[in-house]
Amino acid sequence: MFNDPVMLSRLLTGLTLAFHIIFATIGVGVPLMVLAAEYIGIKRKDPDYILLARRWTRGYIVTVAVGVVTGTAIGLQLSLLWPSLMQVAGQTIALPLFMETFAFFFEAIFLGIYLYTWDRFKNPWLHWLIGIPVVIGATASAFFITTVNSFMNSPEGFKIVNGTLTQIEPLKAMFNAATPTKATHVIVSAYLTVAFILAAIAAFHLLRKKTLSAAETAYHKKALRLTVMAGLIFAFSTALVGDFSGKYLAKYQPEKLAAAEWHFETTSEAELIFGGILDEQEDGSYDIKGAVKIPYALSILAGGAPDTEVVGLNEFAKEDQAPLFVHYFFDIMVSIGMYLTVISALFILAFRLKKLNPHNKWILRGIFIGGPLAIVSIEAGWMYAEIGRQPWTLYGIMRTADAATTSTAVGPMLILFSLLYLMLGTICTIVLLRMFKNNPVGKELADDHHTRGEAMFADDQK
Amino acid sequence: MDIQTLGITVLWTFLYGYLIVASIDFGAGFYAFYSKYTKRDHLTNRLILRYLSPVWEVTNVFFVFFFVGLVGFFPDTAYYYGTALLVPASIVLVLIAIRGSFYAFANYGSNDSMFYTFLYGATGLLIPAAMSTTLTISQGGFIRKTNETVEFLGTKLFSNFYSWTVVALAIVSVLYISAMFLLFYADKARDTAASDLIRKWALFWSIPTIIVCALVFFGLKNQAAWHYENILNGNWWWFAASFVFFCVALTLVYLKKNYGIAFIAVMAQYGVAWFGYGYTHLPYILYPYIDINKSVVNDTMATSLVVVFIFGLLLLIPALYLILRLFLFDNDYVRGKKSK
């Protein structure tokens, strides 16, 4: 395996993406939450929400830096590790890649302005308005880059005649069959994940209640309510879009859905298999053991009705099938999504009904673990999306094995980048922890200068 | 103008933009480290940070824009350069990653350590050094196509004298351009202590810059005769004009006059040389394999990229104007009178 450029290229691409996606997700979601907090803060003249927006932004800028550099890495690695893929992609799907750099450019400019103009305008709404292009830029970047991934799942907008690409339609390639569900799923789940990361931070502080002052408790409760409310909305939207994604797969990439669901025989009234293990029989078929089977659920996911016929894996040649372990990635993604819906609904219900204390220790703990779980869910979702598309890099057009570099130096590069990400991940975490430890909420709440810009960054304090 | 010429002109212009803004950024990193090391950082580093903090991310986008656009307009570049440059490009990526993230860790994360500043300064010189070798590679002789694959002749590049003169040019240019910009910025901030010190840096690097330029220019004759002939065939005046702009910039700085015009002269000095070099490099992006006329993307894609580019510019120009107005042309901000 370690002298196979294809496997090594997959590992290195996977490593970069797995690391980058954490920061990219934070990058897409945080601006929206910051803007929401700043909006409430200005509207209600509540300095707690302004402080919330400022503290989120301060942590955000550190993660943005890591997101930018790892994004640059994956951008160039696509050409370095998959030169043949990019040669075809350049002809067909270069448009949204190009658009993404513009969106990113736009976002970077306004983020620079937003960060350094907290108190430069007399009218606080002007500063809030500068945040809007940041949100638009971040979300548009996610949209454009996801259209490229959609294209890999559903390559359209060109014809191949005698080995050459003709009749190129860039917009059709960009708005392919996979784009609507995929792009929405990526964007909404990013919002969901960020809402839960921020909620987890608030829950963490509230769980250590004994050390908190009344002002700090009030501050964290406001943060928790805002983030969990957002979390609930985005959890429902993600579930809805996830359902549409299932229907897309059933129609356009049935073997990808079948691999995730361990659905071998084409049937109607198909049951959904959750968990379990596979036991290979002598004739090459499989027995599923210890799984939870939900009647009709797969047919409903695939076509919205219990009698929908769902295509099984046995219809496809072995060499066109994805590895069957993607089933677990799918299950992890879906169960975490459901967990996030339930826990946020529980909190909001408790808040509304007033019968149950929403700041109950167990609800807070449940929200706290929701943060890391949401990131796990994002990772599992991408693992499913990418490994589930195998053996193809461009579905039905180009196999992964034919797209990779022929260079023999991928192995050392894999080690180099592993060390880089290990270092960046560790130091980023330490820097973030220290940043908030050295400047606790209590101190900033007591100091009414916090709404002014002076203490924003370390270099200004000197 | 045909679409491939338009495409390469746009990309080359963006790379020129990157050359200027990244040189300021890279050099500033080195100077920040150097001042700190010689314990003079109280003079200069606040000034450097005030400029860099809001714009460093924008700098990085120029580079991303260039390579994404290059693969879009000329997909063959992905195949040739992608296969051949895996190792050197990966090293550049690691350096960029270290630089960008440690900048953020040091400045936003209150971790103001000598080690972080050292990394920031050192990568500021290593990145342009590594990137500049691509220019040498593009002139041919270091990438070989075989039946199966594309091979990079790394040892040949390493032992090549000309390639090292290009590296030297990249490093001295970074230090020169950066000092000239910071001089203008310090002067605008009416920070005499800083501008006196930075003026010395600017003068110090000016002469080496022009000496190395001459070395590279005449070294080209042996390294890439085809390119040298293109220059001698009526295109030498670009470089003569560059020298004139250099003299203007140097005279102004020497006389302590009008540093704004001096910096514009520096931009013009590099601008004409850059476009002269690019123009005479055509039609090749990689000699002799990638010819813009043969490797251009299909018409539909090229047209749509140009359309997106025009719309993108309509969006970006006002945004760039805004950020420059707020952080570069706002005297109160530059002087540190406004909260950040």
DSSP-assigned letters across all residues of B126-165: HHHHHHHHHHHHHTSSSEEE-SS-EEE-HHHHHT-HHHHH
pLDDT class for A448, splitting at 50, 70, 90?
low
Inform me whether the C-beta atom of residue B174 falls under 8 Å from chain A C-beta atoms: no
Q: Give me the count of residues in chain B.
A: 340
- A409 vs B49, B86, B315: nearest CB: B86
Query: Under DSSP, is residue A396 helix (H, G, I), strand (E, B) or coil?
Result: coil
> How many other C-beta atoms can be found within 10 angstroms of the C-beta atom of residue A127?
18
Chain A hits for B53, Cβ within 8 Å? 112, 115-116, 457, 459
Quickly list DSSP for B148-215: S-EEE-HHHHHT-HHHHHHHHHHHHHHHHHHHHHHHHHHHHTT-HHHHHHHHHHHHHHHHHHHHHHHH
CB of B38 within 8 Å of a chain A CB? The answer is: no
pLDDT value at residue B112 = 62
DSSP letters for A70-112: HHHHHHHHHHHH-HHHHHHHHHHTHHHHHHHHHHHHHHHHHHH
Chain A residues touching B74 at Cβ < 8 A: 90
Name chain A contacts of B110, Cβ cutoff 8 Å: 434-435, 438-439, 457-458
Q: Is the pLDDT of residue A408 over 50?
A: yes
According to the model, what pLDDT value does residue A185 have? Answer: 94
* B150 in Cβ contact with B143 (< 8 Å): yes
Q: Which residue's structure tokens are 């066109």?
A: A320
Please say whether the beta carbons of A148 and A88 come within 8 A: no
Is B288 within 8 Å of chain A by CB?
no
Chain centre to alpha carbon of residue A423: 22
Confidence bin at A235 (pLDDT 50/70/90): very high
What percent of chain A stands above pLDDT 70?
96
In chain A, the residue whose alpha carbon lies closest to the alpha carbon of B307 is: A95
Chain A partners within 8 Å of B73 (Cβ):
94
Higher pLDDT, A400 or B116: A400
Task: Read off the pLDDT of each residue in A184-189 and give the average, rounded to a whole number.
Answer: 94
Å between A331 CA and nearest CA of chain B: 34
Q: Is A387 exposed, middle or buried (0-12, 13-18, 19+ CB in 10 A)?
A: middle
Q: Do A80 and B68 touch (CB under 8 A)?
A: no
Helices A326-353 and A361-387 cross at an angle (nearest 10°) of: 150
Q: Taking the CA of residue A205 as centre, how many other CA atoms within 13 Å lie in the half-sphere pointing to its CB?
A: 23
Q: How much is the pLDDT for A336?
A: 94
Q: How far is CA A14 from the centre of its chain?
A: 14
Does the pLDDT at position A330 exceed 50?
yes
Name the average pLDDT for chain A.
Answer: 87
pLDDT band at A277 (very low <50, low <70, confident <90, very high): confident
In chain B, which residue ranges form alpha helices assigned H by DSSP? 3-37, 41-73, 76-84, 86-108, 114-138, 154-158, 161-188, 192-223, 225-232, 237-254, 259-281, 292-295, 299-327, 331-334
**Which residue in chain A is spatially nearest to B48 when comparing CA positions?**
A459
Distance of residue B98 Cα from the nearest chain A Cα, in angstroms: 8
Write out chain B's pLDDT in tens, 340 residues.
788 888 889 889 889 988 998 898 888 888 888 888 887 777 777 777 776 766 777 787 888 888 888 888 888 888 888 888 888 888 888 998 888 888 777 776 655 677 878 888 888 899 999 888 888 888 888 888 887 778 888 788 888 888 899 999 999 999 999 999 988 888 887 878 888 888 888 889 988 998 998 888 888 888 888 888 888 888 888 888 989 998 998 998 888 888 889 889 999 999 998 998 888 888 888 888 888 888 888 888 888 888 888 888 888 888 888 887 777 767 677 676 654 3
pLDDT at position A409 is: 84
For residue A152, name the pLDDT band (cuts at 50, 70, 90).
Answer: very high
Residues of chain A found within 8 Å of residue B105, distances taken between Cβ atoms = 62, 65, 427-428, 431
Chain B CB contacts of A113 below 8 Å: 54, 322-323, 326
Peptide bond into A372 cis (omega under 30): no
Distances B6 to A95, B30, B309, B310 between C-alpha atoms, Å: 16, 36, 11, 12
Q: At what angle do helices B299-327 and A94-115 cross, to 10 degrees?
A: 10
Residue A181, min C-alpha distance to chain B (Å): 24
pLDDT of residue A454: 36
CB contact under 8 A, B97 and A69: yes
Q: Is the pLDDT of residue A122 over 50?
A: yes
Average pLDDT over residues A136-144: 94
pLDDT of residue B109: 60
- Radius of gyration (Cα) for chain A, nearest Å? 24
- Give me the mean pLDDT over the A10-37 stretch: 94
Name residue A277's beta-bridge partners: A289
pLDDT over threshold 70, residue A97: yes
Residue A260: the pLDDT is 86
A98 CB neighbours in chain B (<8 A) are: 68-69, 72, 305, 308-309
- What's the gap in Å between the CA of A179 and the closest CA on chain B? 19
A92 contacts in B (CB within 8 Å)? 301
Q: Are A113 and B326 an interchain contact pair (Cβ–Cβ within 8 Å)?
A: yes
DSSP track, A304-373: SSTT--B--GGGS-GGGPPPTTHHHHHHHHHHHHHHHHHHHHHHHHHHHH-SS-TT-HHHHHHHHHHHHH
